[in-house]
Structure 1
Amino acid sequence: MNESEATSELLRLRREKLAAWRSRGVDPFGHAFPGTQPIEKILEDFTEGREARLAGRLLSIREMGKSIFAHVQDANSKIQVYANVQSVGERFADLKLLDLGDIVGIDGECFRTKTGEKTVRIRSFVLLSKSLRPLPSKWHGLHDVEARYRQRYLDLIMNPEVREVFRKRIRIVREIRRFLEERGFLEVETPMMQPVPGGAAATPFSTFHEALGIPLYLRIAPELYLKRLLVGGFEKIFELNRNFRNEGISRKHNPEFTMLEAYWAYADYSRMAELLESLICHLARTVCGTLRLPSPGGGFPPIDLTPPWPRKRFADCLREATGTDWFALSPGERRKRAGALGVELHPEAEDIDVTRHTFEKLVEARTAGPLFVTHLPTELVPLARQNRDDASVVDVFELIIGGQEIAPGYSELNDPIVQRERLEHQAGQERQKIDEEFLTAIEYGMPPAGGIGMGIDRLTMLMAGKDSIREVILFPLLRPKETL
């Protein structure tokens, strides 16, 4: 019997058991089962003879003559359960109709086996949901990586460590809110569908609103709307937002991702760096219990977040990485030098793209961090304030940890005239991509402000010691199975 035939046979047997339950007058997709105790709590407060009421999924069943041992798992823990003819009477035969994966409700009492294992002796049970498909007998992550992402529900059932990653992500988001709210920041919401995609240089997803008869775009960033709120008088705001960029997929990129953006009126990029450092250290202590995080892979050692974190200018980073004064070179010399150092460049890449890719390849990808890289070229960051002493750079930072950018931070540009010039230069001939409503808003006066944008997915990768963004997104975007 081949694998397909074996699977078909297992499915047939489960359907037969489904019919058997119904023939006994049992609804195999049962009813509510209130009053359950978390298994974790039962184990913590375990006392022999104590009553227990629990519900969960059967992960193992061992029939031993006139007794049955099994393990039941709920959201956080699992426990052994036991039954024999004396404990459940005539319903003992019904236990033999249960399969791995079935969800059951159990009433019983606590006792310890001869080996000392904490166990619940079943007095009564109810089938709450019949599993019509068998659970995978083996679920080796690396061997079934595509299946794990595609069938995340099975991944969560079979791999407790995967559930822990997503609990960690949930705690990270909760603690971000708590941290910022305690410092006077207000959480706001801005549109996810926008008439003009702005706030970043990225390709948007487009849609169309039938009633209004207008094209719309899923947002690539909330920045321009959040700055409207600064104009309106909100001084400390943040948004935990979903962004969408119609671009490639990699271990660091998913087309749909989560960001924190925060703005603080009358602050600057340096103040935002201090805020971000405090926030990430707080998250590490609270969520991970330590400032020393596991290796993010890529040959990096464990990451030590002990503050203060160093700061280094962008030009100095490139000088060290390329062995030359990068910005003293001509555009042609920069391209030639980048190629000699193994940086792959598109033949039509502009000079600023040569600089960006060289930095990403030779500095960002090789920096364990944490490191604040400051004073980036003006052309790279059109929404940031120009440095007072050096017009070629802007007052910004990029926080690098584990070989990837975790968060940029700006002294925000609030000069509407300069802002228009920069956006027009960035848009080139595509004037329709300029958000005129945003420019009108800041002409009314936007206070000087600092801003940060932090990728929640990448931060979770760091905190969980994962080297792929798909490991920290419950349902990452995948190619349709039929096209594989």
Structure 2
Amino acid sequence: MRHPHRRIPLAGQELIRDEATVPAAADWRPGASLETLRQRARLKRRLRESLDAREWLEIDAPALIDSPDFEPNIALFRAALPDGSPAGSLHSSPELMMKRLLAAYPELPGAYYLGPVFRANETGRRHNPEFTMLEWYDTGATLDAAIATTLELIQSARRALGVADAPVERRDYGTLFRRHLGLTPYHADRDALASAARAHSIDVANPEGMDRDDWLDLLMSLAIEPRLDPTALTVVTGYPASQAAMARIEARSFEGREITVAARFEVFGGGLELANGYHELTDPDEQARRLGDAGSGPRSSSQQRFLAALAHGLPECSGVAMGVDRLLMWLTGAEEIDAVLPFSARRI
């Protein structure tokens, strides 16, 4: 899953790098202070303790996969054999393997992965191409239950680091767009979204290549997220159905009109995205259709095995991915991800 925001080049940039500065080549020291590294270890320990207490199973997911290409907005690191032939890619999420695990062992109350994932072309103030993800699947959980678990984990992490619980706010995606941009994200066309971006002085390098969801992601990231309460945990629900390739779809109404939304939420610490969760899609036929719509070629072996697992039967579940480095940034007040990592990409 997850971390869904798309990497959209702004005008004057080859790709978004969050205006990161590059240290001198002689800067050999870790980016994180010793105290921050201790906090990092304490945070990971608390997360594991919290999930182990639920009797969830921690699993190791393979880092090298067969390059499933159903996440068109995520660039993968490609691996090669010594002779130059393709050997797969470094994984950007353990999702497919974890769902196969639950399909095989539906009696598990839950499972989680805590470890590195990889996204190419993501280097900057809030991004590192290798980052630590906590991803979990809670058997039988509704979306509301997944939200409750996510908030409980974050508040527990705050207490482990000696920080008081944060206030929690619930916000609707459509209402945020109406309040801050004066439009509805479910019905506004490309031109209206582009006009809203220009009104907020957001310029992109290639506007002709932007679709509706690109504009929605950009406006959410640059015009709305910075306005969220910096002291609060904000839960946002009601994302458009087009923004959840592996989540259920729900019918609702907004401003008197029928809409479809994804059974999905995001949690923000201030304006920093921390977690993204789905009420997972279990219908193998619908999932196959969505993979076909998103993919650019024949299905990989891992995709075929994943669909076979769904056909066998994935239990009702919700899944959540949380960026551990992002969480530590928010807990410590760090402005850059480099400050919470031992060695970010710019120090290697």
TM range (shorter): 0.7 to 0.9
CA deviation vs aligned residue, 1:100-137 (integer Å, no higher than 9, x gap): xxxxxxxxxxxxxxxxxxxxxxxxxxxxxxxxxxxxxx
The answer for the alignment partner of 2:116 in structure 1 is 242
| Correspondences of 1:57-456 after superposition (within 5 Å) | 146=23, 150-152=27-29, 162-197=33-68, 200=71, 201-209=73-81, 215-233=87-105, 234-291=108-165, 305-306=166-167, 309-345=168-204, 346-347=206-207, 348-367=209-228, 368=230, 369-389=232-252, 392-427=260-295, 429-432=296-299, 435-456=303-324
Taking structure 1 as the reference length, the TM-score comes to: 0.61
Query: 1: CA distance between counterparts of 2:193 and 2:328?
Result: 35
Offset at residue 193 of structure 1 (A)? 0.3
Q: Which amino acid aligns with 2:236?
A: V
The answer for the alignment partner of 1:61 in structure 2 is none
Offset at residue 419 of structure 1 (A)? 0.9
Identity of aligned residues (%): 28
Offset at residue 402 of structure 1 (A)? 2.3
For the structure 1 residues 209 and 414, does the alpha-carbon distance in structure 2 shift closer, same or farther, using more than 3 Å as the test? farther
Offset at residue 197 of structure 1 (A)? 3.4
Query: 1: CA distance between counterparts of 2:186 and 2:250?
Result: 17
Q: Which amino acid aligns with 2:284?
A: P
Q: Secondary structure of the equivalent of 1:288? A: coil
Offset at residue 325 of structure 1 (A)? 2.7
For the structure 1 residues 264 and 148, does the alpha-carbon distance in structure 2 shift closer, same or farther, using more than 3 Å as the test? farther
Query: 2: CA distance between counterparts of 1:310 and 1:149?
Result: 44
Question: How many residues are matched?
Answer: 315
Q: Which amino acid aligns with 1:379?
A: S
Offset at residue 343 of structure 1 (A)? 2.5
Answer with 384-393 or 344-353: which moved more: 384-393
Offset at residue 152 of structure 1 (A)? 1.7
Answer with 198-207 or 255-264: which moved more: 198-207
State the structure with more CA Rg.
1
CA deviation vs aligned residue, 1:219-278 (integer Å, no higher than 9, x gap): 011111111111011330001021111113110000000000010111022101101111
Query: 2: CA distance between counterparts of 1:260 and 1:198?
Result: 22
| Correspondences of 1:29-40 after superposition (within 5 Å) | none
- Does structure 1 retain, via aligned residues, the 8 Å contact 2:173–2:238? yes
Query: 2: CA distance between counterparts of 1:171 and 1:278?
Result: 16
For the structure 1 residues 225 and 359, does the alpha-carbon distance in structure 2 shift closer, same or farther, using more than 3 Å as the test? same
Query: 2: CA distance between counterparts of 1:388 and 1:318?
Result: 19
CA deviation vs aligned residue, 1:62-92 (integer Å, no higher than 9, x gap): xxxxxxxxxxxxxxxxxxxxxxxxxxxxxxx
- Does structure 1 retain, via aligned residues, the 8 Å contact 2:70–2:291? no
Query: 2: CA distance between counterparts of 1:170 and 1:199?
Result: 33
Q: Which amino acid aligns with 1:430?
A: G
For the structure 1 residues 461 and 376, does the alpha-carbon distance in structure 2 shift closer, same or farther, using more than 3 Å as the test? same
CA RMSD of aligned residues (A): 2.5
Offset at residue 310 of structure 1 (A)? 2.1
For the structure 1 residues 432 and 247, does the alpha-carbon distance in structure 2 shift closer, same or farther, using more than 3 Å as the test? farther
Q: Secondary structure of the equivalent of 1:376? A: coil
Q: Which has the higher contact order (CA 8 A, sep 6+)?
A: 2
For the structure 1 residues 448 and 389, does the alpha-carbon distance in structure 2 shift closer, same or farther, using more than 3 Å as the test? farther
Offset at residue 324 of structure 1 (A)? 2.4
Query: 1: CA distance between counterparts of 2:195 and 2:160?
Result: 47
Q: Which amino acid aligns with 2:275?
A: A
Q: Which amino acid aligns with 1:372?
A: V
Q: Which amino acid aligns with 2:60?
A: E
Query: 1: CA distance between counterparts of 2:79 and 2:43?
Result: 32
Q: Secondary structure of the equivalent of 2:186? A: helix
